[in-house]
Amino acid sequence: MKPLFPALFALALGCLLPSAHAAEAIPINYDEAKVGNDPLPDPLTFANGRPVKSPRAWRERRQELLELFQTHVYGRSPGRPRDLAFAVTSTDPNALGGLATRKEVDLRLTGKANGPVIHLLLYLPNGATSGVPVMLGLNFEGNPCVNPDPGITLPTAWMRDHKEAGIVNNRATEASRGCQASRWNVEKILRRGYAFATVYYGDLEPDHPDGWKSGVRSVFPATGGRTVAKSREPITALPDDAWGAIGAWAWGLSRVVDYLETDHAVDARKVVLMGHSRLGKTALWAGAQDERFAIVISNNSGEGGAALARRDFGENVRRINTSFPHWFNGHFKRYSTNVAALPVDQHELIALTAPRPIYVASAEQDKWADPRGEFLSAQAASPVYRLFGTDGLAAPEWPAVHQPVHSTIGYHLRAGAHDVLDYDWDQWLAFADKHLPAMKRR
C-alpha cells in the first residue's frame, strides 16, 4: 500500500474548489426576518412517535439518531483497524525550555511503516503526576504549525502552497513552524496541567473532492475496519451512504484515543476534544460516535456542525454541498434544496454527546457560521441533558458578548471573527477544570 499524500486546504485563506463559481451563485440569507421556521425534529421522540422518558430509553433513541446521521449526513465509518500499531519515533524530555516532554508517535493504520500513517505530536507537562488529562485537536497545516519548537518533525507529505504559512512548492519549510501558534497556545495548556495532542488532518485525507482516492477511505471499507484485499479492483466510486471526509477525519481522532489508552502518562478517560471550523464539525461527529471523548468543544463550526440547518442563515446546506461535496455523504445532497425533509438537525448531533459535557463557541462577526443558530442548537439539545439530571444549557436567552455559560452544555459568544483566540482557550480550560473532576470513572 502506498503512503497517503495529504493535501492542505486552509480554511482561513478561503481556498476555492472547482465548484466555486456555482457556489457563489447560491443565495445567502443574513436577515433574521427571513430565517427558516420549519419545526425541529424532537430528539426525545422515536421515529415511530414513542416518547423517550428515561436515560435507558435514550440509549435506544441514541442509536436511532446515529443511524439517521450516518445514512443522511456523514456516512458510515469503519471500526478500529485490526492491524493498528504504534511506534514512538522521537522523545525529548526537555522540550519548550523544560516545560514539557515532547513525544512523536506514528499510528500505523495497517501495521506497516510504509503504509498509511497518522503522525501524532504529544506534549506532556513535566512535573505532573502520571495520568494527566489531554487536550486533543486536529490542525490544518501540519504539526509544526502549532508551536515554533524546532524539534517537531517537519511533514514530508504534499501540502497546498501557502507561502504565508511557510509552505512552498507543496512542502512545509522551517518557516512553517508556529505559523498557527496563536490558535493553540500550547504553553498555556501545559501550565494548566493538561497534555496536548495534535494530528495534521491531511494525514487522514486530503481536503478536496478527490482526496478520498489517496486517503484512508481508499484503504478501509465502510464496515468492519478491515483493509482492502490486495486482489480487489481499485475503487472508482463510493456508495451514497459511505463516509465523507468529515467521517474520515473523525475516525482518525478515535485512532488517537486508541493510542492514548496505551500511554500511562495520560488519562485516556479524560480526553477533551476541540475542533475549529470544519474540524469543529469533525469534533462533534467524533464525539457523537465515540463516547471515550470526555468533553467535546466546537468552535465556529457553523453549517454541518453546531448551527441549525433549518434556519438557513449564513452558509446553508446547498452552499456547503456545492463548495465542499466531499465532506458529507452522497445522501446529504438530496437535502440541498429541501432541508425540511432532513430527518435530523444539528441540535440532535449535540445531544448525542449527552450526558458528557459539551461546549459550543461562537464569534460575533462570524455571520457565515450563524452564531445565533449555534446557540439555539445547543439550547434545543438541553432536554436530553436534563433527562440525565444535568442543567443542560443554563441560559434562557442568547448571551451577550463575553458572557460565557459553563453549564453542562457550555456556550460563549466572543468579539471578533472566525478564529481561535486566547479568550476561547481561557473559557475551555475553565470549563474542563470544572467538569472533568466531577465525571465518574467510566
Give me Rg for the CA atoms of the chain. Answer: 21
Asked if 182 is an active-site residue, the reply is no
Q: Could you give phi then psi for residue 386, rounded to 5 degrees?
A: -70, -25
What pLDDT does 12 receive? 38
Across 87-95, average pLDDT: 98
CATH number at residue 361: 3.40.50.1820
- What is the pLDDT at residue 222? 67
pLDDT digits (tens, 9 = 90+) for 219-235: 987 653 343 434 344 55
| Residues in Cβ contact with 355 at an 8 Å cutoff, skipping those fewer than 6 apart | 55, 385, 388, 390, 408
pLDDT at 129 (0 to 100): 81
Residue 22 forms part of a structural domain? no
Main-chain phi, psi angles of 300, to 5 degrees: 50, 45
CA distance 353 to 350: 6
CB 227 within 8 A of CB 81: yes
Mean pLDDT to the nearest integer, 156-163: 82
Residue 235: the pLDDT is 57
Catalytic annotation present for 418: yes
Q: Which of 77, 176, 218, 277 is catalytic?
A: 277
Is the pLDDT at 438 greater than 80, yes or no? no
Within a domain: residue 277? yes
Q: Would you state the pLDDT for residue 236?
A: 62
Instruction: Please tell me the predicted confidence (pLDDT) of residue 303.
Output: 98
Q: Which residue, among 117, 113, 89, 116, has the nearest Cα to 103 in the 3D structure?
A: 89
Q: Is the pLDDT of residue 266 over 90?
A: yes
Q: Which residue has the cell 465523507?
A: 244
Query: d(Cα 378, Cα 389) in Å, to the nearest integer?
Result: 17
Question: Average model confidence (pLDDT) for the chain?
Answer: 91
Kindly state whether residue 32 falls inside one of the protein's structural domains: no
Task: Give 286-323 pLDDT, tens digit per residue.
Answer: 999 999 999 999 999 999 999 999 999 999 999 999 99
Which pLDDT tens digit goes with each residue over 323-339? 999 999 999 999 999 99
Question: What average pLDDT does the segment 348-355 reach?
Answer: 98
In a domain, 25, yes or no: no
Looking at the predicted structure, is the pLDDT value of residue 9 above 80? no
- Is the residue at 50 inside a domain? yes
At 357-381, the pLDDT tens digits run 999 999 999 999 999 999 999 999 9
Please tell me the predicted confidence (pLDDT) of residue 161: 84
Q: Does the CA dihedral 152-156-159-165 come out positive or negative? A: positive
Quick one: pLDDT at residue 16?
A: 42
On whether residue 4 sits in a domain, the answer given is no
Residue span of the structural domain in which 382 resides: 46-435
**What's the total number of domains in the chain?**
1
Could you say which of 162, 326, 406, 418 is catalytic?
Answer: 418
pLDDT at 441 over 60: no
Q: Is residue 224 part of a domain?
A: yes
Domain contains 28: no
pLDDT of residue 292: 98
